[in-house]
């Protein structure tokens, strides 16, 4: 069995939750799509033709 972490230390899940809060993560899929479109709205440049 895995050893329990000492009291006062955060579990990996707790660290993940804290990081998600700091990044203002949201479980709403529509909001995710909205934010993704802001970041990924530009198409990559076409490769130059020789």
Task: Give me 44's structure tokens.
Answer: 């990559």
Mean pLDDT, range 17-46, rounded to an integer: 79
Residue 47 lies in a domain: no
Is there a domain that residue 8 lies in? no
3 lies in a domain? no
Residue 19: which domain range?
A: 13-38
Does any domain span residue 30? yes
Instruction: Let me know if residue 23 belongs to a domain.
Output: yes
**SS3 label, residue 2:** coil
Checking if the pLDDT of 5 tops 60, the result is no
Residue 27 inside a domain? The answer is: yes
- The distance of Cα 13 from the centroid of its chain, to the nearest Å, equals 14
1, pLDDT greater than 50? no
Q: What domain count does the chain have?
A: 1
Is pLDDT of 41 > 50? yes
Distance (Å, rounded) from C-alpha 10 to C-alpha 36?
30
Query: Does residue 18 sit within a domain?
Result: yes
């Amino acid at each position: 069995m895995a050893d329990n972490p000492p009291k006062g230390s955060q579990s990996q899940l707790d660290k993940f939750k804290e990081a998600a809060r700091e990044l203002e993560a949201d479980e709403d899929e529509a909001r995710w799509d909205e934010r993704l479109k802001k970041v990924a709205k530009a198409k990559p440049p076409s490769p130059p033709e020789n």
